[in-house]
Copies of this chain bind each other. A is one copy, B any other.
Amino acid sequence: MKTVKVGICGFGTVGSGTFNVLTRNAAEIAARVGADIEIAQIGARRDNPNCSTGDIPVSRDVFAVAENPEIDIVVELMGGTTVARELVMKAIENGKHVVTANKALIAEYGNEIFAAAAERGVSVAFEAAVAGGIPIIKALREGLAGNKVQWLAGIINGTGNFILTEMKEKGRDFADVLAEAQALGYAEADPTFDVEGIDAAHKLVILASLAFGIPLQFDKVFTEGISKIAPEDVNYAEQLGYRIKHLGIARDTGKGIELRVHPTLIPEKRLIANVNGVMNAVLVQSDAVGPTLYYGAGAGSEPTASAVVADIVDVARTLSAEPEHRVPHLAFRLESLSNHPVLPIEEVETAYYLRMSAQDRPGVLSKIAQILSDEGISVEALIQKEPVEGQDHVPMIILTNRTIEGKLSAAVESIQQLDAINGKVTRIRVESLAG
Contacts and interface: CB of A to CB of B under 8 A. Distances in A.
A142 B310 contact: yes
Interface in A269-321: 271, 274-275, 286-297, 302-303, 305-310, 312-314, 317-318, 320-321
Contact of A133 (B289, B295, B306): B289
A212 to B, nearest CB: 10
Given A296-B289, A303-B290, A310 B143 contact: yes
Contacts of A134: 289, 292
B274 A288 contact: no
Contacts of A293: 293-296
A142 B138 contact: yes
Contact of A146 (B29, B320, B331): B29
A326 B293 CA distance: 26
Contacts of A308: 146
Given A288-B309, A294-B292, A294-B294, A31 B146 contact: no
Given A139-B138, A290-B303, A146 B336 contact: no
Contact of A309 (B25, B28, B145, B274): B145
Contact of A289 (B147, B297, B336): B297
Contact of A321 (B32, B313, B322, B332): B322
Given A142-B135, A146-B22, A314-B142, A328 B32 contact: yes
Contacts of A138: 135, 138-139, 142-143
B286 A290 contact: no
**Most central of A138, A139, A288 by chain B CB within 10 Å:** A288
A288 B303 contact: yes
Contact of A305 (B288, B313, B331, B332): B288
A21 interface: yes
A31 to B, nearest CB: 4
Given A287-B25, A293-B295, A321-B322, A32 B145 contact: yes
Nearest to A30: B336
A146 B289 contact: no
Contacts of A314: 142, 145
A34 interface: yes
Contacts of A321: 318, 321-322, 325
Contacts of A354: none
A309 B134 CA distance: 22
**Most central of A294, A309, A314, A327 by chain B CB within 10 Å:** A294
A326 B313 CA distance: 11
B147 A143 contact: no
A60 interface: no
**Most central of A286, A291, A312, A325 by chain B CB within 10 Å:** A325
A322 B291 CA distance: 35
Contact of A296 (B21, B142, B148, B292): B292
Given A139-B139, A320-B325, 4 more contacts: A21-B288, A31-B333, A135-B138, A138-B139
6 contacts: A17-B288, A132-B289, A142-B314, A146-B307, A288-B303, A293-B293
